[in-house]
Chain A
Amino acid sequence: MKAVEVRELVKDYGSFRAINGISFEVNEGEIFGLIGPNGAGKTTALRVIATLLQITSGSVTVFDYELPKEAGEVRKIISYLPEEAGAYKNLTGKEYLNFIAKFFGEGEKFQNMVQRGLEIANLGERINDKVDTYSKGMTRLLLVGRALMANPRLAILDEPTSGLDVVNAQEVRRIINSAVEAGTAVLLSSHNMLEVELLCHRIALINDGRIIASGTAEELKKEYDARNIEETFVKAIK
C-alpha cells in the first residue's frame, strides 16, 4: 500500500494556479522530499494532503483513504507540522502535548503518547514552563515532539528545520530518521537542498507548480550530471 498517491493534482487560488497537475507517490517507511524555491507550490501540496485545502482537480489518497471524501479518516493517521507553526502561549510545553494527545487516545495510550512527546522534545525541566518563554529552537522541538508522538502513519513536515541553528537542525533530522525506523512514512518539503540530500530516500523537484524531475538523489545527480542536488535543481529548471 502506498502512503500517499497524488495523481494530476491541480490547485487554484481564484485565477492563480498554485499547483499544475503534479503526480507522485510516497512509499511506506520512506522519506520523500519536495524541494523547490519559495512559491513553487510545496506548502500548497502539503496542505492539500494534510486535509487543509480543497482539491481543484486530480486525486489524492493517503493509505487508500481518498481526499476530501475521507478526510476524517486521514486526520487519524497523519501528523502535520506547518512551516511557521506555533503552540498555545499560555500553556506549558507539557500541557500542550497533553492537549494534542487527547485528540488521539485516552488512558495508557494517552500517557504513552505524552511520554513519547516529552522524550522527542527533550526540553528537560523547561517542559513545565509556558511556551511563551521558549526560544524558537525549543518551540520547534516541542512541535516536532507533538507531530511525531502519536506514531503517525504519515508525517507531513513543512520545512522541519526552518529557522533552527545547526545543532537543533541536526537533532530534528535525527528525530525524523528514528520515526521512520519506527514505521512512519515522511513527506517533507524544504528549500534546503543539502538537508534533503542527507535525509530523503527520494526527491521531487518542484517549480512553478510542476514537478520537473524526481528520483533518488543519486539518480537525479546522474541524470543532470551535477555534483549535488542544488546544482541538479539549477540545471533542471533551465
Chain B
Amino acid sequence: MIGNIIKKEFKELFTLSTLLPIVVIAIVFGFVGQSIGNIGERIEEKPVIGLVDMDDGDFSDIAMSVLIEKAEVIYDGGDAEEGLEEVRKENGVALLVIPESFSQSIYANNPGQIEIYWIMRGAGMMDSISSGVVEGLIQAVNQGISTKLIQQDSSFDPALVLAPTKRVETTFFKGKEIEGLSASQLGNVLSSQSIVIPIVIMMLIIMAGSSVISSMGMEKENKTLETLLTMPVRRSHVVIGKMVGSALVGMIMAAIYMIGFSRYMSSFQISDINLADFGLALSMQDYLLVGVSLFTALLAGLSLCIVLGTFAKDYRSAQTLIFPITALAMISVFITMFKDFDTIPAVLRILVFAIPFSHPMMAMRALMLDNYSLVIGGIAYTAVFTVIMIAVAVRIFNSDRLLTGSVQKRLALGKLVWGLRR
C-alpha cells in the first residue's frame, strides 16, 4: 500500500519540468566554479612581486632572501617607478620597497619600514587571495629578522623583537591611488558589501518574483484568469499591474527579511575603516544611480517572472517555476561575491552582464571606483530587457497559449498513445 503511494508521489513530483532546471543549474554552477578557479591552488601559488632594496644591510638581506625564496620575483632592482611598472605589466600583486635606513632603524631599536605598493585588480574574495599570501610573506620576513635579533643581542626592545618591521602601504585600484590602506583591508571592506548588497537584492528578486509567479498560478488554479482577460483593460496593463503589485509585496517581504539579516550580519562587522576617508564615498547622484539600477533590475526580474508564470498550470507548478529565477540570482551573488567583474573570464563576464540582477549587485562598488559606464550600461541593458520581456508577456497574454497551454504537444502525445493502444 505504502509503496503504491510512494510510487504515485514520485511520479507526480519527479517530472522533466522539475528535473531540467536542477540539471541546467548544476551544469552552470560547475562551469562557474571551474572558471573562477580553485582557492587551494591559488594559495599554493607563489605570489608575483617586485622588490627594491635600497638598504642592502643585514636585515634587508634577510627580508630579501625570504621573499626571493617564497615569491616569484619579477623585478629586483633599485628604481621603484620602474619596479611598479614591471609589476603592473606582469600582473603582479605588489612592489615591496626596503628603504635605505631599514637595517639602521632596527639596530636603533625602531621598527624598519617596508613600503608596499599593492596592485589590486578586483575586490572579490578570490581577488584578495594573492595579497593575503604576500601578507603571510611579511610575517615570514618578521620571523626571520626576529630570529636574527634574538641570536645577536638580548638588549633589543622586546616589542621590536616581536614586531621588527612596520608597513607603509599604498593600494592602486582601478585608477585610484589609496594611501594608508592595504589591498586586503580594502578588499575586506568591499567584500562585506559584496555579501550584504547582493543578498538583499537576491531576496528582493526571489520574494517579488515568487509573488508574481504564484499570482499567475493562482489565477489559473482559481479559474479567475479567463474572467480577467475579458475585462475592458489592456493586456499590457494586466501585465504591469501584476508586476507592480508583486514588486510591492516583494519589497515588504524582503524588508522584513533584511531587518533580521542585517542584525545577523552586523555581528560580523569588525572593520572600522571609513571608505570616505580614502575618497571612496558615494555622492547623492551615485546613490540615485544605484536606486535606478535596483529598480530596473527588479522590473526586469519581474517581467521575466511573469513570462515564466504563464507556464504555470496551478499554484504548485508555479512554485517550481521560481527555481530558474533563484538560480540566476544565486549565480549573480556568488560570482560578484568571489570575483570582480573585471577579473572574471570573458564568458562569465557575458553571463554576469546578461543576468539583469547582477547590475545592482555590482553598481555600488563600480560607482565608488567611478566606473559609470558599467552602471549606466547595466541600467540601459536591464531597461531594454524589461521592455522585451513585457512585450513577450503581452504577446503571450494576447495568444491562446495562456488558456490552452501547449495543446499541440498534448495532442501529438495523445495521438501517439492512441496509435500505440490500437
Interface assignment of A47: CB less than 8 Å from any CB of chain B = yes
Q: Which residues of A contact B400 (CB under 8 A)?
A: 13, 52-54
Which A residues touch B233, using CB under 8 A?
A: 75, 103
Q: Which residues of A contact B399 (CB under 8 A)?
A: 54
Task: State A112–B231 Cα separation when bound (angstroms).
Answer: 18
- Per-residue contact bits, chain A 48-88, to B (CB 8 Å; 1 contact, 0 not): 00111110000000000000000010011011111011111
- Choose among A51, A87, A89 the residue that contacts B230 (Cβ–Cβ < 8 A): A51
CB pair A88 B230 closer than 8 Å: no
Known: A85-B223, A85-B224, A88-B224. A78 touches B230 (CB 8 A): yes
Tell me how many residues of A have a C-beta within 8 Å of chain B. Answer: 29
The residue on A at minimum CB distance from B400 is A53
Choose from B222, B226, B234, B409 the contact partner of A72 (Cβ within 8 Å): B234
Q: Which of A1-36 contact B (CB under 8 A)?
A: 13-16
- CB of B411 within 8 A of CB of A103, answer no
* Complex Cα gap A14–B226 (Å): 21
Q: How far is the CA of A103 from the CA of B399 in the complex (A)?
A: 22
Please measure, in the bound complex, the distance between the C-alpha atom of A104 and the C-alpha atom of B400, giving whole angstroms.
Answer: 24
Q: Assuming A13-B400, A47-B403, A103-B232, is B411 touching A52 (CB within 8 A)? A: no
- Known pairs A86-B222, A86-B223; A16 contacts B230 (CB<8 A): no
Closest approach, in angstroms, between the C-beta of B412 and any C-beta of chain A? Answer: 7
Shortest distance from the beta carbon of A140 to any chain B beta carbon, whole Å: 12
Q: Cβ of A100 and Cβ of B408 under 8 Å apart?
A: no
Range for the number of chain B residues in contact with chain A = 20 to 34
Q: Which residues of A contact B403 (CB under 8 A)?
A: 47, 52-53
Shortest Cβ gap from A53 to chain B (Å): 5
For B407, list chain A residues within 8 Å (CB): 13-14, 16
Contact at A75–B230, with CB atoms within 8 Å? yes
Residues of B within 8 A of A103 (CB): 231-233
Give the docked Cα–Cα distance between A194 and B400 (Å).
Answer: 32
Chain A residues, Cβ within 8 Å of B253: none
Q: When chains A and B are docked, how far (Å) is the Cα of A13 from the Cα of B399?
A: 12
Is B227 part of the contact surface with A, judged by Cβ < 8 Å? Answer: yes
Least CB distance, A63 to chain B, in whole angstroms: 14
Centre residue among A13, A53, A80, A84 by max chain B CB count within 10 A: A13
Q: How far is the CB of B88 from chain A (nearest CB, A)?
A: 61
For residue B409, which residues in chain A have a CB less than 8 angstroms away from its CB? 14
Of B223, B234, B411, which one neighbours A14 at CB under 8 angstroms?
B411
- Give complex CA distance A89, B219 in Å: 10
List A contacts of B232 (CB < 8 A). Answer: 72, 75-76, 103-104
Cα–Cα distance between A63 and B137 once the two chains are bound (Å) = 86
Do A75 and B231 touch across chains, with their CB atoms under 8 A apart? yes
Query: Which residues on the B side are within 8 Å of A84 (C-beta)?
Result: 223
Tell me if B387 is interfacial: C-beta within 8 Å of chain A.
Answer: no
Contacting pair A87 B231 (CB below 8 A): no
Q: Are B412 and A14 touching (Cβ within 8 A)?
A: yes
What's the least CB distance linking A83 to chain B, in Å?
A: 9
CB neighbors of B among A82-136 (8 A): 82, 84-89, 100, 103-104
Given A47-B403, A75-B231, A75-B232, CB of A80 within 8 Å of CB of B408: no
Check: B229 CB closer than 8 A to any chain A CB. yes
> Which residues of chain B come closer than 8 Å to A52, judged between CB atoms?
226, 229-230, 400, 403
B212-229 interface code vs A (CB 8 A; 1 in, 0 out): 000000000011101101
Task: Report the minimum CB–CB distance from A105 to chain B (whole Å).
Answer: 10
B404 contacts chain A at the CB level, 8 A cutoff: yes
Inside 8 A of A53's CB, which chain B residues have their CB?
Answer: 400, 403-404
In Å, the complex CA distance between A75 and B229 comes to 9
From A14, A81, A104, B408 is in contact (CB under 8 Å) with A14
What is the bound-complex CA distance between A47 and B226, given in angstroms?
9
**A88 x B231 contact (CB < 8 A):** no
The reply to whether A87 and B224 contact each other, CB–CB distance below 8 Å, is yes
Q: Looking at the assembled complex, report how far the CB atom of A32 sits from the nearest CB atom of chain B, in whole angstroms.
A: 18
Max chain A CB contacts within 10 Å: which of B231, B233, B403? B231
Q: Give the distance to chain B from A213, nearest Cβ to Cβ, in Å.
A: 28
Q: How many Å lie between the Cα of A143 and that of B226 in the bound state?
A: 12
A146 nearest CB across to chain B (Å):
8
Binary interface encoding of chain B residues 393-407 relative to chain A, with 1 for a CB under 8 A from any of its CBs, else 0: 000000110011001
A143 to B230, CA, bound (A): 14
Residues of chain B lying within 8 A (CB to CB) of residue A79: 230
A85 contacts B230, C-beta separation under 8 Å: no
What residue of chain A has the Cβ atom nearest to residue B399's Cβ?
Answer: A54
A86 pairs with B224, CB closer than 8 A: yes
Q: Which residues of A contact B234 (CB under 8 A)?
A: 72
Q: Which residue of chain A lies nearest to B409 when distances are taken between CB atoms in the complex?
A: A14
Smallest CB gap from B234: residue in A: A72
Q: Max chain A CB contacts within 10 Å: which of B229, B230, B231?
A: B230
CB-based contact B230/A50 at 8 Å: yes
* Chain A: minimal CB distance from B238 (Å): 11
Q: Mark A203-214, 1 if CB is under 8 A from B, else 0.
A: 000000000000
Q: Supply 6 further A-B pairs (C-beta < 8 A) apart from A85-B223, A104-B232.
A: A14-B408, A14-B409, A14-B411, A52-B229, A54-B399, A86-B223
Instruction: Enumerate 24 A-B pairs (CB-CB under 8 Å) in ascending A order.
Output: A13-B404, A13-B408, A14-B407, A14-B408, A14-B411, A15-B408, A15-B412, A16-B407, A52-B226, A53-B400, A54-B400, A78-B230, A82-B223, A82-B227, A85-B223, A85-B227, A86-B224, A87-B222, A87-B224, A89-B222, A103-B232, A104-B232, A143-B227, A146-B227
What 8 pairs across the A-B complex have the smallest Cβ distances? A14-B408, A86-B223, A13-B407, A86-B222, A80-B230, A75-B232, A76-B232, A103-B231
B binding-site residues for A, Cβ under 8 Å = 222-224, 226-227, 229-234, 399-400, 403-404, 407-409, 411-412
Residues of chain A touching chain B, judged by Cβ–Cβ distance below 8 Å, are 13-16, 47, 50-54, 72, 75-76, 78-82, 84-89, 100, 103-104, 143, 146
